[in-house]
Amino acid sequence: MLRRTQWIATILLFLGNLTLVGAETIKVWHHGGSGSGERAFIEKSIKEYNETNPEVKAELVILPSGSYNDQVQAAALAGKLPDLLDFDGPNYANYVWSGFLTPLNGLVDDKIINSVLPSLISQGTYAPDGKLYSLGQFESGLALWGNKALLTKAGIRIPTTVEDAWSAAEFEEALEKLSKLPEVKHPLDMKLNYGKGEWFTYGFSPIIQSMGGDLINRTTWRSSGTLDSQASVQAMTMFQNWIKKGWVVPASGGDNKFYADKNVGLAFVGHWMWGSHSEGLGDDLVLIPMPKFGDRHVTGMGSWCWGITKSGNTKAAARLLEFLMSKKYLVGVADAVGSVPGSEAAAAALPRFAKGGELNLYVEQLKNIAVPRPAHPAYPVITSAFAEAVFNIVAGADVAKELKKAARKIDEDIEDNSGYPPFGE
């Protein structure tokens, strides 16, 4: 029988080994993605990391995407966040402000950071300290898809480059001409069927930003005077007029009027519809740059990203993040998800996003005209309030009143949180 001192020493050694094992295992949380392809790829990536890095094992946990943010918040309060966390891009500011995330500068190799698309760096840079807190393996893009046969029949010029984009007047002229074709039921699909949610902010805030408005002032960090400004009201009045004229597919119209029924000339949506669109329209499918509605040319951007939590093994998490951000995995996940690869090198390796490829326009827009959604702790309220305003504007509500109500709701949340210091100081 072991003597008492030997027994205690054995137990302490055992506990010490448990701690060592724990330190060599890092936890990774992922929201599962938009389809089986993304989930399968992240599972494959973590498996390959573990096979090539036996000294540090990564344990992947897939959580339901519908309640993902709530689960992250609950885990943070309980002090049980993973080492590496994925999250929808605009939400990271709330996590940083709440103290969940650590800066990636000096932790992740500068070569990795410098290779990433500038739009992703812009999205992940926190205004108060100028540090980078998130990196995305892939990006998203917003533009127009067109039915070349209908556009040609209507005598509409088809722009192909960012520099050649339609103005607001040219865009409306194109809608007017398409509306006169007997085979066109609605000139434009704006995916109103996606419903009141993040699409309304992602898709339609660039129209406001192009015309001189925004969701919030990015210096004072207040919404009143910006979201309800004359420029914002003008932009959303133009948007509402498209609907009033019957130019836009209603929410009840579903998802396939452009590519299946082929009675719509233009689709205002992102790269994720390329598969359905190309299958349905074939050689008649054309990708058209985002219109320049005002003095500033703007496109939507941003997607799910990775961040490293303060409470975890930051160095081990950084090595895993570098692995996931390597060209091989950027190409692989973009291919699986159908998104824009997160670096120019990865985009060049994926034919449809490379120079001359069907989707290269998205890469060019992200390099030149992409504007991130506001990286502010109040972003969940910002997007909810704006989406509610858009929903009511689509239904015919007074534009100025809806934007003023949304701005007030956002500012009330900011005031309730004492301005979210250091924002606005």
* Helix, coil or strand: residue 140: coil
CB of 319 closer than 8 Å to CB of 91:
no
If you compute the radius of gyration of the chain from its CA atoms, what whole number of angstroms results? Answer: 24
* Helix, coil or strand: residue 343: strand
Q: How far, in Å, CA of 290 to CA of 402, rounded?
A: 25
CB of 59 closer than 8 Å to CB of 25:
yes
* Helix, coil or strand: residue 307: strand
pLDDT 10s digits, 111-140: 999 999 999 999 999 999 999 999 999 999
Of 270, 301, 273, 275, the residue nearest 373 (C-alpha): 301
CB of 290 closer than 8 Å to CB of 142:
yes
Query: If residue 320 lies in a helix (H) or strand (E), which one and from where to where?
Result: helix 314-324
Q: What would the DSSP string read from start to end of 204-249?
A: HHHHHHHTT--SS-TTT---TTTTTSHHHHHHHHHHHHHHHTT-B-
Torsion over CA of 199, 223, 219 and 209, rounded to 10 degrees?
40
Of 287, 286, 280, the residue nearest 260 (C-alpha): 280
423 half-sphere exposure, CB direction, 13 A CA radius: 27
Peptide bond into 90 cis (omega under 30): no
Q: pLDDT tens string for the chain (425 positions)?
A: 334 334 333 323 333 343 334 448 999 999 987 667 889 999 999 999 999 998 999 999 998 877 888 898 899 889 999 999 999 888 899 999 999 999 999 999 999 999 999 999 999 999 999 999 999 999 999 999 999 999 999 999 999 999 999 999 999 999 999 999 999 999 999 999 999 999 999 999 999 999 999 999 999 999 999 999 999 999 999 999 999 999 999 999 999 999 999 999 999 999 999 999 999 999 999 999 999 999 999 999 998 999 999 988 999 999 999 999 999 999 999 998 889 999 999 999 999 999 999 999 999 999 999 999 999 999 999 999 999 999 999 999 999 999 999 999 999 999 999 999 999 87
Token pair 């040319």 is found at 297
Of 166, 312, 187, the residue nearest 245 (C-alpha): 187
Catalogue all structural domains in the chain, each as residue range(s) with its CATH number: 4-136+304-338 (3.40.190.10), 142-301+375-416 (3.40.190.10)
Amino acid in position 248: V
- Phi and psi at 99, nearest 5°, equal 90, 20
